[in-house]
Chains A and B, each alone.
Chain A
Amino acid sequence: MFEIVNLHPMPTTEVMVGLTTALLALNGSATRGIVPPKKAESPTTKAALPPREPTFSYFNIRHSFKKLPNAFAEPYREMLALKTFADGWDGEGSKQIANDSVNAALAFLALLPSDVPPPEASAASDGTVDWYWRKGSKAATVTFYADRKAAYFALTDAGGVKDAFRLVDKIPAPLIESLRQL
């Protein structure tokens, strides 16, 4: 039922694969982390609570189980899959995708508000990764380097915004505002 996403550096991808396998075995399912929205709620409970967005869950080594909006499930899997890209994946001299970069990108996804459209995962031949959004002639890219360093550029009707930042526990507000327009 659950997948593991390592929001903090781990030694190898193999460790994550092993832990993922173990968790899948414990849950007896390989549904890739999708948790369907709950249906069975009493009318009184339903009336009392605000509507909840469908989410999917994953396991974070340090922070136990986490939930992300369902819309982020595919980007999450796409980004996680980039860890399997070895040296040479994109031609001569292309480098293995850096675990650090993917981990930072997944941590970023976990911090992203649910009203932001889902990004696309993208990898570059030098081992860095991006989240990428595009809506017609407008677009945004967040590039993740090593050591949780990241940088963004977003082009919206309001113009372009860009900056570099170190991902700790929040996403720069100008970026979030721009992403909401894509």
Chain B
Amino acid sequence: MTKEAQTNLCCSCESVALSELGLIGAEEVVARILFNPQHIKADGTVKSGLWSPTDIRKKGVSLVRPGHLSPEALKAQADALASNYHKPRTAEGVIECKAEKVRAIFDDQGERLLCLFDDPVKATAALPSNPAHAMAIAAREVSDADIPQIKTLLTLAFGPLRRFA
């Protein structure tokens, strides 16, 4: 079910850069910032619940492009997101993987299940801008059975938690 990455065959959103940082290349690393220890196992890997079916289908899975952020800027983004919430929470760290792994999740017919594209975020009253934001979202209407496949393969694709210093 996991094949060589075939970019831009079905995800037109990957063909045009929305930010000045340019397209996300196959080798580029994308990261997910983790706030909730509930999703993290003792060995630092994450559980499948990190990936919400609703995010996969509709909202998109929020990611960042750490190659375009200094470690300090990445931490600052994480802290800003953590503090912009009605309950106290802390950014635990990030998990990372190459873009090509996210793009190499295929269904039984060999069609891509996820698109991954740059998604710059403008500043709001509460949060600073983040030109290095990225999004992964279902490439088409996915079935109930597609969801655990996407969750499992994302969980396997991303490495263990890298805690903030």
A residues at B contact (CB < 8 Å):
88-92, 120, 122-126, 128-130, 132, 134, 137, 139-143, 145, 149, 151-155, 159-160, 162-164
Contacts and interface: CB of A to CB of B under 8 A. Distances in A.
Given A90-B35, A137-B156, A162-B146, 7 more contacts: A91-B35, A126-B54, A132-B48, A139-B156, A151-B148, A153-B151, A162-B145
Contacts, number: 100
A125 B34 CA distance: 13
Nearest to B150: A153
B144 A151 contact: yes
A139 to B, nearest CB: 5
Interface string B132-155: 000000000001111111011101
B5 to A, nearest CB: 17
The dominant DSSP class at the A interface is: strand
B52 A128 contact: yes
Contacts of A128: 52-53
Contacts of B52: 124-126, 128
A143 B38 contact: no
A155 B89 CA distance: 34
Nearest to A131: B48
B45 interface: yes
Interface of B: 1, 35-36, 38-39, 41, 45, 47-55, 84-87, 89, 143-149, 151-153, 155-156
Given A132-B48, A155-B1, A124 B53 contact: yes
B110 to A, nearest CB: 13
B35 A143 contact: no
Contacts of B145: 151-153, 162-164
Contacts of B146: 162
Given A88-B87, A91-B89, A120-B41, A143 B147 contact: yes
Contacts of A137: 156
B143 A164 contact: yes
Contact of A140 (B50, B54, B84, B152): B152
A7 to B, nearest CB: 21
Given A123-B38, A128-B52, A137-B156, A153 B144 contact: no
A89 B89 CA distance: 10
